[in-house]
Structure 1
Amino acid sequence: MATTHERIDQIVKGNKIVLFMKGTQQFPMCGFSARACAILQDMGVQFHDVNVLDDDEIRQGIKEYGNWPTIPQLYINHQLVGGSDIMMEMYQSGELQELLK
């Protein structure tokens, strides 16, 4: 059986854009996750969502995997971009759009 780290690694490496979040893109369960989804949806970006509320091991493991203490966490091309605040800053500056080209 795969370790939590291996499971997260498979998700990140198996998808170009992944958002680890509370809830789903159709039904975000916190304001920060809702904002992260709204940014990506506003850009018309297709992304894979992982509901950390469904799996406590993933919920804790993603914080260690990316060395980032909060959720949501956005990964693009296997790299951690950050949480909703960083996403908003990058979106407003146009940096996020460049990263997704």
Structure 2
Amino acid sequence: MSDVNSRISSIIGDNDVVLFMKGTPLFPQCGFSSRAVAILDHCGVSYESVDVLQDMEIRQGIKAFSDWPTIPQLYVKGEFVGGSDIMMEMFEAGELQQMLDEQQVAKAES
């Protein structure tokens, strides 16, 4: 396993919910990342974010790691969920909140 893959695996393994995104939750750098942050914030869960613009190895590596060509990418309990479109579809159908509840993901601190 390459160094970048082991770094990605470690990040995903150490956190219940990880969002690989462009920018940060406070300052997203694209509309898709902004939408993904808004969805997670609305769900009220605690999550780790990784700004792929700060690390080109991660930016390219995460695409190969998940076999998914776009960013943002959401992982819950080590499983790849999808990008912002899939997150939005799942959120609107109530499936994302249900999955987060079933996985007993920690709630965000108020």
Q: In the alignment, what sits opposite 1:74?
A: 74
Give the structure 2 partner of residue 95 of structure 1: 95
- Deviations 1:35-71 (Å, cap 9, x if unpaired)? 0000000111110000000000000000000010000
Return the alpha-carbon distance in structure 2 between the equivalents of residues 46 and 35 of structure 1.
Answer: 16
The Cα of 1:27 is off from its aligned counterpart by 0.6
CA distance, structure 2, for counterparts of residue 73 and residue 60 of structure 1: 12
* 1:14-93 alignment, distance < 5 Å: 14-93=14-93
Q: What SS is found at the alignment partner of 1:49? A: strand
Q: Secondary structure at the match of 1:25?
A: coil
- Aligned to 2:87, the other structure's residue is in SS state helix
Look up the SS of the partner of 1:26 in the other structure. coil
Q: TM-score, normalised by structure 1?
A: 0.97
CA RMSD of aligned residues (A): 0.8
Structure 1: state its 5+ residue gaps: none
Instruction: Output the amino acid matched with 2:31.
Output: G
Runs of 4+ residues over 3 Å off in structure 1: none
Q: Which amino acid in 1 is paired with 2:68?
A: W
- Counterparts of 1:53 and 1:6 in 2: how far apart (Å)? 19
Taking the aligned partners of 2:19 and 2:95, their CA distance within structure 1 comes to 17
| Matched positions, count | 100
> Which consecutive unaligned segments of at least 5 residues does structure 2 have?
102-110
